[in-house]
Each structure stands twice: as C-alpha cells, then as structure tokens.
Amino acid sequence: MLGEFLNSRLFRRSAPELPPIEAESPIYVIGDVHGRDDVLVPLVDQIMQDAASQPSTGAPPQLVFVGDMVDRGPGTRGVIEFLMAVQDWPELETHFLVGNHELMMLQFINDPVMGRRWLRYGGYETVQSYDIGRVGDLSDEHELRRVAEAFQLALGPHLAFVEDLKPWHLNGNLLITHAGADPGLSPAQQTIDALVWGVPSFYQRARTDGLWVVHGHTIVEQPLVRDGRISVDTGAYQSGTLTALKVYGTEVSFLSETGPAVPEFDDYLD
C-alpha cells in the first residue's frame, strides 16, 4: 500500500501539466464498430447532420475510425461496404486506422493455420458475413486453407481497403490510434504492436509532448477524457452503443447511437 501511495505521488509530481485539447480542423472519431452496421450507419448520419449545422471552416470535417471495424457483430461485410462508400463523400475527409482485429484477419488470410485463433475471437462472424461455410479454429489444416482462400476471394475490393488501413492519425494535439501509444515515443517511432495491442506504460506514464491520445480497444461504459487519454470504445458489439468524439477547436463533446445489446460471452479479445 505504501509503495502504491508513493508511486502515485511521484506520478502526480512528475506528470506535466496537460495542455487543452485542440484540433486544427473539426474532427469526429468513431470507436470500435465490430461489425455493427446497424448502429454505424445512423451514427454517421447523425455526424453528417451535426457537421452541417456548424459554421463553415472552409474544409470538410475529418471523420476517423480507430480500427476494429470488423469481427464480433454479424455485419462486417456491410460495415466495410459502407465505409468504402463514405470515403468518397465530399462532405467528409475520412481516415481509417488498423486495429488488432483487422491485423488478425490479414494474418489468417496469409497463414490460416498460424492465424486460426482469429476465428475464435470474432473472425467466425466475419467469415459468415461473406457467406463462407461453417469453420472454427479447431478445423483441420485443409479446411482452414480452403476457407481462407474462399474468404480472400469473397472479400474482393474489401481486402485492399483493409490492407490500406493506417496505424495513426494526427490532428492538432490529438493523436488517434487503436489501442494507445508508448508515452516515451513520438508517433513516427511507435511500433505497430504498441498501436494495435497497447502497452502497459500507456496507462502508467504521462506523455511529455502535449499530445492527447484518442483510442479504442479497451471498453469503457462511458467515453472518458482523463490524464491525456480519450477513450471512445463503448463496446458497441455487446452494449449496442457506438460512440464518436467530436472536437471543434477546443470544444469537446460526444455523439452516440444505440441499438440492441447482445449477451456477453467468455472468449472476448478486445
């Protein structure tokens, strides 16, 4: 207990004073979608209406997705189809980031035997959304390779969309990633593992470069703004609530859309 108390005092004493959140251009950041196209579409519509109600800044607002658009929910195919359409809308400047679930999906396509665990952690639902037959992580090697080949074929242009996802995005002093970032490294120095899986130091040490990190990956009941971190993953797959951060200059708020919740189950991987 004494050690924890001293450590917390040292952290508070050494932590730099946080600058105010400030975006260079208007921005909306959507948390982990996880195959919930039923809440994604109305949330984007809500964002479009909100953006249209704001004074013009001369450039379209940015819309950023923190990754984990795929898996878990039944609508991954619909999610990717919709996002590919949204990226062509002139009213928005879109940026799509990679999450650990997109990374696992690509690993499965590349090596279905080594990447088979993806099926247990939401990949099964994604494969089903592309009308591929039943398969599980306990399937034999021949079946896994057959499914991976059929899945890659069924993805068509969706595969190129996933392969082109970016690791991070910067707007003003907002650094947007999937799972956080190493507080001791600049955005360009981050490893892909730190960005999509997270690192313990993200929650243990404050950044000293004035950046606020906007992230998903770790589920929170309500969006959080605390200690240089902004958490926007409200567990859409389970809770039915998909959340978006909105920053106009220094004004911070949140939008959300809620659909049906689903029962929680044991094999959950953020």
Q: Is the pLDDT of residue 264 over 70?
A: no
Least confident of 49-53, 158-162, 207-211, 265-269: 265-269
Q: Which of 146, 164, 182 is the last residue of a domain?
A: 164
Residues 132 and 217 in one domain: no
Burial call 5-41: b when 16+ CB within 10 Å, e when fewer = eeeeeeeeeeeeeeeebbbebbbbbbbbbbbbbbbbb
Question: What beta strand segments (E) does 79-183 contain?
Answer: 93-96, 169-171, 174-176
- Tokens for 148, please give them: 């991976």
- Domain boundaries, position 31: 22-37+49-99+165-263
d(CA 135, CA 148): 10
Mean pLDDT of 31-40: 98
Quick check: is 44 in a domain? no
Burial call 227-254: b when 16+ CB within 10 Å, e when fewer = ebbbbbbbbbbbbbbbbbbbbbeeebeb
What one-letter code names the amino acid at 155? L
Residues 169 and 224 in one domain: yes
Say what the pTM is: 0.91
Residues 93 and 185 in one domain: yes
Angle between helices 37-52 and 76-86 (to 10 degrees): 20
Residues 197 and 71 in one domain: yes
Give the mean pLDDT of the chain. 91
Residues 126 and 29 in one domain: no
Domain count, the chain: 2
- Tokens for 45, please give them: 């519509």
Q: What is the pLDDT of residue 266?
A: 47
Least confident of 27-31, 92-96, 262-266: 262-266
Q: What is the CATH number of the domain that holds 241?
A: 3.60.21.10
d(CA 54, CA 191): 37
Residues 173 and 248 in one domain: yes
